[in-house]
Structure 1
């Protein structure tokens, strides 16, 4: 379910995971409160990835901004 270097869901895909890692986000908890628009601005992160990240955060009781 999670990638090897952090706990980002694998379902977000490799391009999005690489983009998130390049931006310094390796753990799902780091995304709490980050605006979805900021994530969409990263090359490789699309609406599906943001939706999956929101869903994963919701399971933990948190969300993006």
Structure 2
């Protein structure tokens, strides 16, 4: 499932730095990211294009998306 906490459903492939960056601002669940700004997420230290792409895919599988 994920490299983060047991209650996280963020994609495991995003890596630990991205997990830490998201957790630092309170995001531990994929549904919390739906509708959030992709640009703002990329500003987080530890978030990169690969992580953002994997989040986009995981959200799309749920019929959700980031705000571009």
TM-score range for the pair, normalised by the shorter chain length: over 0.9
Q: Which runs of 5+ in 1 are unaligned?
A: none
Q: Which runs of 5+ in 2 are unaligned?
A: none
TM-score, structure 1 length as denominator? 0.94
Q: Which residue does 2:18 correspond to in 1? A: 16
Figure out how many residues of one structure are paired with residues of the other and give that number. Answer: 65
* Larger CA deviation: 54-63 vs 4-13: 4-13
Residue by residue, what CA displacement relative to the aligned partner does 1:37-61 show, whole Å, maximum 9, x if unpaired?
A: 0100000000000000000000000
3-state DSSP of counterpart to 2:47: coil
- Aligned partners of 2:50 and 2:25: how far apart in 1? 18
TM-score, structure 2 length as denominator? 0.90
Q: Which residue does 2:61 correspond to in 1? A: 59
After superposition, the CA RMSD in angstroms is 0.9
Q: Which runs of 4+ in 1 moved over 2 A?
A: 1-5
